[in-house]
Structure 1
């Protein structure tokens, strides 16, 4: 099955609302509507509404949030909820990003809860999985990503699983300049695809896009996208410059 490539920009804690306005003006001038690809922006929570407003004339481009809390509401100062994200116009939610896991200490159990809330809230989760350098060198990559995937899918039924997005982002390659080779990415994407097949069957699993993330740039984007089972890219630093990002989405 041909899966429509998904090219996603994770701005992390970068680009203020003022910066985002200037970014979108320059970027949109270079990138006409791309029917053959799905583009997604993940701005910070404060910049979210600015980006949504800036893309009113480009509804084919999705906007998502970088995180939601694992509870629907309550006394959780500083957090944002699934319903709040949907209310302002977000369509996608990042879940289990390596920085949430390794900087903020999020557990597999929290990922399970967030995935359930997101699909119940009629948003699309982009579930991230990936191993550390230590885990990779110990030969545990497949074990780690399958465990993280299992946790993310634990409370979803087959129909809900078929609607998710998935990203493999090796922790050792994020922000380090080190990138998994296309062959590396294909191997682990194949592991993830088979795990999906065992859960929801071959036909449904074939429709789930699996993105690669980890030091993606305009120089390696084309090679990665050409690799088997690589259905898109989750891009960090290289998505902060509108010219660089325009090159990547056209790769």
Structure 2
């Protein structure tokens, strides 16, 4: 049974004191997780240790990095390595968020390298894909997303691709207040699952968790998560509010 995941992406937000307060507030809220449900919180790198300490003893709750580099170590000032994450007990990282692709020119080939080093070192990659508004308006979103997935993930074995979490994020709905309708989101997430089935098989595709990201909030999470191919969300702004994100966690049920 594939995992249902409520993932938070704090991006470059909060001071240390604010991060500490948000974590305390979140973990004081009532939420419940079944065996196949997880919470993953991607915090800025300076707060990884703090967040990891806060989650000690909390089942099904994981801390994630927001980025990783393609080398294990070396003269790469400012980068974060898999060895660093492993030494802190961090088991997840976001890869290929649209902001990394756009602002830092991360290519599909470069992200392929990031995926590989994660899987080689037992770090779960949350692989982001998704189209900009002009692509959606030309009705070319399927081809665009297929290219991202094929060039970064389809070299993997059936066993390894099942270790990847895919997060589909329509760029036009990130931080804009616009959200794809549940039908629009389901349509492309079904397309992604079928793409995987065509490359591998139906059982492999059914094992991959595919999240939706793009202005997920407490008031739309339940409807989005009720779709058969949406396995949770990668949540940006709403994850900075403890009450809001706790409600999103509960929407997994």
- TM interval, shorter chain, is over 0.9
Identify the residue that residue 164 of structure 1 maps to in structure 2.
Answer: 164
Check conservation: 1:15, 1:47, Cα contact below 8 A.
Answer: no
Check conservation: 2:9, 2:42, Cα contact below 8 A.
Answer: yes
Deviation of the 1:4 alpha carbon: 3.2
Identify the residue that residue 21 of structure 1 maps to in structure 2.
Answer: 20
Identify the residue that residue 173 of structure 1 maps to in structure 2.
Answer: 173
Deviation of the 1:154 alpha carbon: 4.1
Residue 46 of structure 2: SS of its match in structure 1? coil
Identify the residue that residue 248 of structure 1 maps to in structure 2.
Answer: 248
Q: Residues of 2 paired with 1:148 and 1:104: CA distance?
A: 16
Q: Map of 1:1-251 to 2, 5 A cutoff?
A: 3-36=2-35, 37-251=37-251
For residues 133-154 of structure 1, the C-alpha deviation after alignment (integer angstroms, 9 at most, x for no partner) is 0111112100111111112214
Query: Would you say how many aligned residue pairs link Structure 1 and Structure 2?
Result: 250
For residues 108-145 of structure 1, the C-alpha deviation after alignment (integer angstroms, 9 at most, x for no partner) is 11111100000001111111100000111112100111
Q: Residues of 2 paired with 1:214 and 1:171: CA distance?
A: 7
Q: Residues of 2 paired with 1:159 and 1:76: CA distance?
A: 31
Check conservation: 1:127, 1:152, Cα contact below 8 A.
Answer: no
CA root-mean-square deviation: 1.3
Between 85-94 and 176-185, report the one with greater CA deviation. Answer: 85-94
Q: Residues of 1 paired with 2:163 and 2:188: CA distance?
A: 20
Between 206-215 and 51-60, report the one with greater CA deviation. Answer: 51-60
Between 84-93 and 236-245, report the one with greater CA deviation. Answer: 84-93
Residue 206 of structure 1: SS of its match in structure 2? helix
For residues 188-235 of structure 1, the C-alpha deviation after alignment (integer angstroms, 9 at most, x for no partner) is 001100111122211121011110000111111111011231111000
Deviation of the 1:99 alpha carbon: 0.5
Q: Residues of 2 paired with 1:223 and 1:49: CA distance?
A: 34
Residue 219 of structure 2: SS of its match in structure 1? coil
Deviation of the 1:246 alpha carbon: 1.0
For residues 155-205 of structure 1, the C-alpha deviation after alignment (integer angstroms, 9 at most, x for no partner) is 422210112111100000000001000000111001100111122211121
Check conservation: 1:167, 1:211, Cα contact below 8 A.
Answer: yes
Residue 41 of structure 1: SS of its match in structure 2? strand
Q: Residues of 1 paired with 2:239 and 2:122: CA distance?
A: 27
TM-score by length of 2: 0.95
Q: Residues of 2 paired with 1:108 and 1:10: CA distance?
A: 21
Q: Which runs of 5+ in 1 are unaligned?
A: none
Check conservation: 2:55, 2:61, Cα contact below 8 A.
Answer: yes
Q: Residues of 2 paired with 1:18 and 1:242: CA distance?
A: 15
Check conservation: 1:82, 1:118, Cα contact below 8 A.
Answer: yes
Deviation of the 1:247 alpha carbon: 1.2
